[in-house]
Amino acid sequence: MKLYLVPTPIGNLDDITLRAIKILQSVDAILAEDTRTSGVLLRHLAISKPLHSYHIFNEHQTVQRLVDQLKSGKTLAMISDAGTPAISDPGFLLVRACIQNDVPVECLPGPTAFVPALVNSGLPNDRFTFEGFLPHKKGRQTRLSELAGEERTMIFYESPHRLLKTLGQFADVFGPDRPASVSRELTKLFEENRRGSLSELITYFTEKTIKGELVICVQGKEAVSRKAKRQYDREEDTTDEDE
């Protein structure tokens, strides 16, 4: 018995790992966020396994049944529509229940959208905070206010129709000159990584039709001063060695 969390490509189907394919071929059944979307990937990989729906609207009702299946000796794989399960997708509840019931859980390494977006941003990535999707209404302004003093690079997921509104709110809270980046259609044919100040990004995307899933990276408040301090510390260390 074991639950495998298997990351799937966020765009380019060639990004599936050899190990992920082997696991999907070997399990008794696959849990999918959307069986239609996952069916396309599995057909591409020539994998035929029982496919069961597991998504945000039914996960509370199905967790115990799935744990019972696992405890009976079944081996299951969980996949989401794209990326790593449980990262802004369903998965946490089942993983927690498995741990509480002594069911082994193994998460494979693989695709997740925020990592290439962060690296491509050119913003400091030695320390960062992943915020995922902000609340749409209740709690949104409160969370933004809490992040106003955040010193680490901040990473957000956003949908195309909310991008401009979100960038405008970021400019109000973090300042229009705060460096940021927007990545869309990662790993796909029309991938785009746009960098600049928040005000420059607002201007650019106001004049553009926005499509595809989006990742926004925003530089932390004290990133520049921290970088300067690290440089000063290195120079001090060099001076001490010379002496």
What are the residue boundaries of the structural domains of the chain, listed by start?
2-107, 114-226
Cα pseudo-dihedral 170, 174, 177, 179, rounded to 10: -80
Q: Percent of the chain having pLDDT more than 70?
A: 91
Confidence band of 136 (pLDDT split at 50, 70, 90): confident
* pLDDT reported for residue 116: 96
Interior/surface letters 89-103, b for 16+ CB within 10 angstroms, e for the rest: bbbebbbebbeeeeb
Domains 2-107 and 114-226 share a fold: no
pLDDT value at residue 240 = 55
pTM for the model stands at: 0.87
pLDDT band at 137 (very low <50, low <70, confident <90, very high): confident
d(Cα 243, Cα 240) in Å, to the nearest integer? Answer: 5
pLDDT at position 159 over 70: yes
CATH code for residues 2-107: 3.40.1010.10
Is the pLDDT score of 66 beyond 70? yes
For 87-105, write each residue's pLDDT tens digit: 999 999 999 999 999 999 9
Residues 214/163, Cβ–Cβ less than 8 Å: yes
* pLDDT band at 28; cut points 50, 70, 90: very high
Q: Which fold has domain 114-226?
A: 3.30.950
